[in-house]
Structure 1
Amino acid sequence: MNIVVLGATSGIAQAIATKLAQEGHHLILAGRRMDELEAMSNDLRIRNQVDVYPAHFDALAMDTHEAFVSSCLERFSTLDGVVLAYGYMGDQKESETDMDIVKRTIDTNYTSCVSILNRFASYFEQQKSGFICALSSVAGDRGRQSNYTYGSSKGALSLYLQGLRNRLSSAGVTVLTVKPGFVDTKMTYGQEGMFLVAKPEKVANDIYKAIRSRKSVLYTPFFWRWIMMIIRLIPESIFKKMKL
């Protein structure tokens, strides 16, 4: 398959790209840091004997998204899937008084995702095949005082993906919402209150299996499905008194 990975230099995305290349898939690795993307592409190409190309992609430059999709189709005449793996987690306390952080969080984690995925969705819908895989978060399942700015942006993304899945189902296009728990990456390094931390490679393997089985929603590691189910069931009268 020919697959585009957006935000390819993130910890989880690197693990996903490695897994996809190992399984023989051809890739476009997209992001802003071209030096890292070129190094990754060369390494994966040599190790796995697949086509891997770096591409510049700025999520927040939404006026360039249409041209970016066109450039991907110039590189590969057909596309089979897209993996959206970028995100931004600002400081919750700072976001309560700094609207620039709020805007960056929402634009990165939601608005830009809608912009780029709408364009890929139209292509796959017309093609009547393909998959869209996007990384949301368990943080979007319920608002908590410790990260509700970030969580609300991921919750919005999850709801968007749910609607997109409903739209594209009849066209044979799979939309996978990935909800990781805590993952050992640069974005989460030093964050307080982390527990049951997963390695990116474990998450990547789970995602690959979910793509292959055309799954709709993936909690990874699996136990986060049950943890979040319990958290969602806590009555609001009790939940608002908890320091979560």
Structure 2
Amino acid sequence: MKNILVIGATSAIAEQTIRLYAQQETNLLLLGRDEEKLQLICDDAKIRGAHEVNFLRLDVNDFDSHASILGEAYAKLGRIDLVLIAHGSLPNQQACQQQVSTTLRELNTNALSTISLLTLLANQMEQQGGGTLAVITSVAGDRGRQSNYVYGAAKGMLSIFLQGLRNRLYPKGVHVLDIKPGFVDTPMTADFPKGPLWAKPQAIANSIVKAVKRKRNTLYTPFFWRWIMLIIRNIPEFIFKKMKL
């Protein structure tokens, strides 16, 4: 029976992914800040068929608590077969430009907190000789754009870290999946006008479960973002710097 740890379990994408894994009668341990919402997600997962489901409270920006919380997670689950890291925030770019403290807070939330957790998890999975680390980053990390370059820089840092981690852990039987969603209709993006490129969390969750099963290295989701970002990455800088993106 598969043991799954979900960090950032109250995010819209994580919640939908939890529902899918619950139907596979897995053991689930959910980490997040909002205990009331975590309890609701746990109850829902039990109804959907999870063998066992529990939660622990975690503030990802409390770096000093990471080791102890992950220790509790391993004590509850034993071997962890899959970790999904799904937390993040969408910063106000203008606010970041005005305040260094805001920029640093967003870098902590969107990159450094995940790197801290991954460092601890990678060592444990290397020791156990297997497992999967699946991390939600973003297509925004593929190239810096004036509209969201603080967020993009954080996600780009995380993707580079995941590349190195994959290279390091592959010989140990540990798989590392970088999940790069495009525009997703979630509470975090509620104020954004929606269009044909926007996806629902349920669709993203379906693609994550399939990518984990197939041991994909990088998942652009929906699939067409791979080709959109290929074009954006290859626009020459002397042209790109003049564009309003």
**Taking structure 1 as the reference length, what is the TM-score of the superposition?**
0.97
Contact persistence 2:30–2:38 (CA under 8 A): yes
Number of the residue aligned with 1:70? 71
Q: Distance in 2 between matches of 1:100 and 1:192?
A: 29
Number of the residue aligned with 2:31? 30
More off after superposition, 137-146 vs 16-25:
16-25
Contact persistence 1:30–1:57 (CA under 8 A): yes
Distance 1:234 1:214, change over 3 A: same
Contact persistence 1:21–1:48 (CA under 8 A): yes
Corresponding position: 1:80 with 2:81: yes
Deviation at 1:47, TM superposition (A): 2.5
Deviation at 1:194, TM superposition (A): 5.9
Number of the residue aligned with 1:173? 174
Gapped runs of 5+ residues in structure 2? none
Q: Distance in 2 between matches of 1:87 and 1:113?
A: 9
Contact persistence 2:24–2:50 (CA under 8 A): no
Runs of 4+ in 1 over 4 A off after TM superposition: 192-195
More off after superposition, 113-122 vs 40-49:
40-49
RMSD (Å) for aligned C-alpha atoms: 1.1
Q: Distance in 2 between matches of 1:133 and 1:175?
A: 6
Counterparts of residues 99-118 of structure 1 (less than 5 Å) = 99-118=100-119
Q: Distance in 2 between matches of 1:42 and 1:18?
A: 11
Q: Distance in 1 between matches of 2:30 and 2:195?
A: 29
Distance 1:167 1:137, change over 3 A: same
Q: Distance in 2 between matches of 1:207 and 1:28?
A: 18
Percent identical among aligned pairs is: 45
Deviations 1:125-178 (A, max 9, x none): 011110000000000000000100100000000000000000000000000000
Number of the residue aligned with 2:238? 237
Question: 2:154 corresponds to which letter in structure 1?
Answer: S
More off after superposition, 97-106 vs 188-197:
188-197
Deviation at 1:46, TM superposition (A): 2.4
Question: 1:237 corresponds to which letter in structure 2?
Answer: F
Q: How many residues align?
A: 244
Number of the residue aligned with 1:42? 43
Deviations 1:32-54 (A, max 9, x none): 10111011101211231421111
